[in-house]
Amino acid sequence: MPEAASGAHASVTLSDILAASCNADGGWGYQRGKSSRIESTAWVALARTPFSSDALRWLTRIQGADGWLRDDQHAPVNYGFNALALLAMTTAHRVPGGATALARNLLGVKGLRFDPSPVVRQDNALQAWSWVDGTLSWVEPTAYALLALKRARQCGVQMPASLAERLDVGERMLIDRVCTGGGWNYGNAQVFDKQLLPHGPTTAVALLSMRDHRGVAAVRDSLVFLEQHATAERSGLALALATICLRVFDRDARAALDAARRQLAVSLRLEQTVTLAALLVAIDDRPDAVEAFTVGAHDA
């Protein structure tokens, strides 16, 4: 694996740090010593480390009889993180059987529908994906659901006929919410006649889910935005996601990657599992490193 070379950390790899952060139950928390969580463990599985199979086993082990993954029995099911878990399952040589039930569950999720409002000028009838039940549709859970379901379909997971309709609604929701000039905020593009600013990480995830529609104006404009602003947000996670997205779209990711390497000292010090795993994906130059994030034909 690539070296996470930076000052005193020159001999330490990201992979080593992640390996040392594994909990006794086989999962990963957001930081070393914290309870194992779905999001952080899914990112470890996506990073293609020697122990990513361990992360995948933890994910499949916590899947309930109803098909959902829960890392806190007292909290509502997090649909966005379940979608990320499904995406991780598609990295397995043989996709776990539980992927079918999880995919079918995700297809049944719908954000709230509400009447048109002068506050937010958007199509409020579009019911894409929410973070948890009984809430509005948001960009990130919608993007993760689209990406995971498309990847699962590519990997041969059997899907019901409702897949096409749900993908269409999710894609239309993202196109409807794109910011002026391209890119995505977290939910809305405009509130009280004020145009909201797009964010790099949100834009990167949304673009990954829409790669099979790269000819659509919203996708083209958003890709241009990301190329121009890939290094604007100086967090390790933002830079990692930008790098992954640009690599998937076969665009020049060198500036984002260089910025991510310069940010490594801070990222290593914070030891945030999601960030370290995403950085490991971003700096891994093996051809299949970003395969799980790739959907649709190259020239679609």
In the chain, where the domains are located = 7-293
Quick one: which H or E segment has residue 194?
strand 194-195
Q: From CA 252, how far away is CA 67, in angstroms rounded? A: 39
Q: From CA 3, how far away is CA 260, in angstroms rounded? A: 13
Q: From CA 149, how far away is CA 160, in angstroms rounded? A: 11
pLDDT score, position 91: 92
pLDDT score, position 192: 76
Tell me the CATH number for domain 7-293: 1.50.10.20
pLDDT score, position 7: 28
For the residues 41-64, what does the mean pLDDT come to?
A: 96
pLDDT score, position 100: 97
pLDDT band at 287 (very low <50, low <70, confident <90, very high): confident
pLDDT tens-place string over residues 175-208? 999 999 999 998 877 777 777 789 999 999 999 9
The answer to whether residue 148 scores a pLDDT higher than 90 is yes
Where b means 16+ CB within 10 Å and e means fewer, 4-37 reads bebeebeeebbbebbeebbbeebbbbbeeeeebb
Q: From CA 129, how far away is CA 212, in angstroms rounded? A: 19
For the residues 253-263, what does the mean pLDDT come to?
A: 95
pTM: 0.92
CB 129 within 8 A of CB 170: yes
pLDDT score, position 282: 95
pLDDT score, position 118: 72
Percent of the chain surpassing pLDDT 70: 94
- Tell me the pLDDT of the chain averaged across its residues: 91
pLDDT band at 13 (very low <50, low <70, confident <90, very high): confident
For the residues 213-217, what does the mean pLDDT come to?
A: 94
pLDDT score, position 193: 75
